[in-house]
């Protein structure tokens, strides 16, 4: 194990910062891994730089390096800068850094790509996958896929669910989203039925037990979720790469297409800003055509 001296001053403080983020439980494991790699790269560029001596020239120099060869997308550059901004904010809050070296540093405009989603017919085809040889595993996998699409949950949210987070009477699930913000999200009858079947297979575990577990009986991991969905997609006729986020995008798009109020979609998705949800107005073309045909006098 590397000594603190071998890590260098920036790397050492970055590791302490990541430990702080883990303790706060406001960040997903995916975000923590990304932040760790980003801050490690910044520390490697300035191995002898003291955290208290970070200046705007260092921030601009790193940003220039990220952009100079054009291999990193704008989204990647912005994520890496977000990691550095969070780190600097932490250093300032601790009194380690007096100035604000990210102030006045111009960042590339954030791209707004249209989200990838499945059509309703494709979603129906995905849900029509028959049970495999292992019926219990198949019922668990179906419950997992049905729940993500039914409630539009993020992968970290669905993995963090406990059995007691489902309110069977009201048909809702309690979710802890980004920043540990709690919200209640509706669950469709089909998904509820799949969840009941899955929990029956497990002998009705206690409320504090994880909703989804892997082969060892421990909470299903992020990699386990990706593997489950990948196996499910391969069993279907769809020839697409489908991630948990594609199911979440499909949930939001289908609601918008069917006339759901955008603020209700925002609440269900757990978006802090309505602007984030508005991207789905650009993919609701089917709904737009229906309204046009009903309203325009010349059709």
Higher-pLDDT residue of 287 and 27 is 27
Query: What is the band of 40 on the pLDDT scale with cuts at 50, 70, 90?
Result: very high
How far out from the chain centre does Cα 265 lie?
16
Higher-pLDDT residue of 198 and 71 is 198
| Residue 253: closest CA among 276, 229, 294, 282 | 282
Non-local (6+) Cβ contacts of 73 within 8 A are 111
pLDDT given for residue 177 in this prediction:
83
**CATH class of domain segment(s) 120-293:** mainly alpha
**Mean pLDDT, range 79-104, rounded to an integer:** 91
Whether the predicted pLDDT of 239 surpasses 90? no
DSSP result, the chain: ---HHHH-HHHHHHHHHHHHHHHHT-S-HHHHHHHHHHHHHHHHHSTT--GGG--HHHHHHHHHHHHHSS-S-HHHHHHHHHHHHHHHHHHHHTTS--S-TTTT---PPPP-PPPP---HHHHHHHHTPPP-S-HHHHHHHHHHHHHHHHHT--HHHHHT-BGGGEETTTTEEEEE-GGG-EEEEE--HHHHHHHHHHHHHTT---TTSBSSB-TTSSBPPHHHHHHHHHHHHHTSS--S---HHHHHHHHHHHHHHTT--HHHHHHHHT-SSHHHHGGGGGS-HHHHHHHHHHH-TT-
Query: What is the band of 265 on the pLDDT scale with cuts at 50, 70, 90?
Result: very high
Lowest mean pLDDT among 52-56, 62-66, 186-190: 62-66
Query: What is the band of 3 on the pLDDT scale with cuts at 50, 70, 90?
Result: very low
Non-local (6+) Cβ contacts of 276 within 8 A are 266, 269
Query: What is the band of 1 on the pLDDT scale with cuts at 50, 70, 90?
Result: very low
**Mean pLDDT, range 164-173, rounded to an integer:** 96
**Mean pLDDT, range 138-145, rounded to an integer:** 95
pLDDT given for residue 2 in this prediction:
47
φ, ψ (nearest 5 deg) of residue 200: -60, -40
State how beta strands 182-186 and 172-176 pair.
Answer: antiparallel
When the pLDDT of each residue in the chain is averaged and rounded to a whole number, the result is 87
Whether the predicted pLDDT of 206 surpasses 50? yes
Strand ranges of the sheet holding 172-176, from the earlier edge strand across to the other edge? 166-167, 172-176, 182-186
Whether the predicted pLDDT of 299 surpasses 70? no
pLDDT given for residue 220 in this prediction:
96
Higher-pLDDT residue of 210 and 22 is 210
Statement: 4-93 belongs to CATH 1.10.3470: no
Non-local (6+) Cβ contacts of 27 within 8 A are 21, 35
Partners of 167 in beta bridges: 172
Question: pLDDT over 90 for what percent of the chain?
Answer: 58
Whether the predicted pLDDT of 6 surpasses 60? no
**Mean pLDDT, range 81-95, rounded to an integer:** 92
pLDDT given for residue 283 in this prediction:
60
How far out from the chain centre does Cα 134 lie?
29
pLDDT given for residue 110 in this prediction:
67
Q: Where are the domains of the chain?
A: 4-93, 120-293
Residues marked active site are found at: 154, 178, 245, 248, 271, 280
| Cα dihedral 63, 66, 70, 72 in deg (nearest 10) | -120
Lowest mean pLDDT among 1-10, 69-78, 123-132, 230-239: 1-10
Rounded CA gap, 2 and 10, in Å? 14
Under 8 Å between Cβ of 148 and 247:
yes
């Amino acid at each position: 194990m590397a000594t603190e001296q071998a890590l260098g001053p920036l790397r050492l403080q970055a590791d302490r910062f990541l430990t702080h983020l883990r303790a706060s439980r406001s960040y997903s494991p995916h975000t923590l891994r990304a932040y760790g790699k980003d801050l490690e790269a910044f520390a490697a560029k300035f191995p002898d730089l003291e955290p208290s001596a970070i200046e705007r020239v260092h921030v601009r120099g790193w940003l220039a390096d990220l952009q100079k060869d054009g291999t990193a997308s704008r989204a990647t550059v912005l994520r890496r800068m977000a990691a550095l901004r969070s780190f600097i904010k932490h250093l300032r809050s601790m009194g380690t850094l007096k100035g604000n070296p990210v102030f006045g540093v111009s960042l590339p405009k954030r791209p707004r790509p249209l989200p990838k989603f499945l059509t309703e017919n494709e979603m129906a085809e995905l849900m029509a996958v028959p049970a495999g040889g292992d019926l219990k595993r198949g019922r668990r996998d179906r419950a997992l896929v049905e729940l993500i699409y039914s409630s539009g949950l993020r992968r970290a949210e669905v993995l963090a669910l406990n059995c007691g987070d489902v309110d069977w009477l009201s048909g809702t699930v309690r979710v802890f989203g980004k920043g540990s913000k709690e919200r209640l999200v509706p669950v469709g009858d089909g998904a509820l039925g799949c969840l009941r079947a899955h929990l029956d297979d497990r002998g009705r575990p206690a409320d504090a037990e994880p909703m989804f577990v892997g082969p060892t009986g421990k909470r299903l991991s992020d990699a386990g979720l990706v593997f489950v969905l990948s196996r499910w997609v391969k069993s279907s006729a769809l020839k697409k790469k489908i991630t948990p986020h594609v199911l979440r995008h499909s949930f939001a798009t289908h609601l918008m297409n069917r006339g759901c109020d955008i603020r209700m979609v925002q609440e269900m998705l757990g978006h802090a800003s309505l602007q984030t949800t508005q991207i789905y107005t650009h993919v609701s073309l089917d709904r737009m055509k229906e309204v046009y045909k009903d309203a325009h006098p010349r059709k």
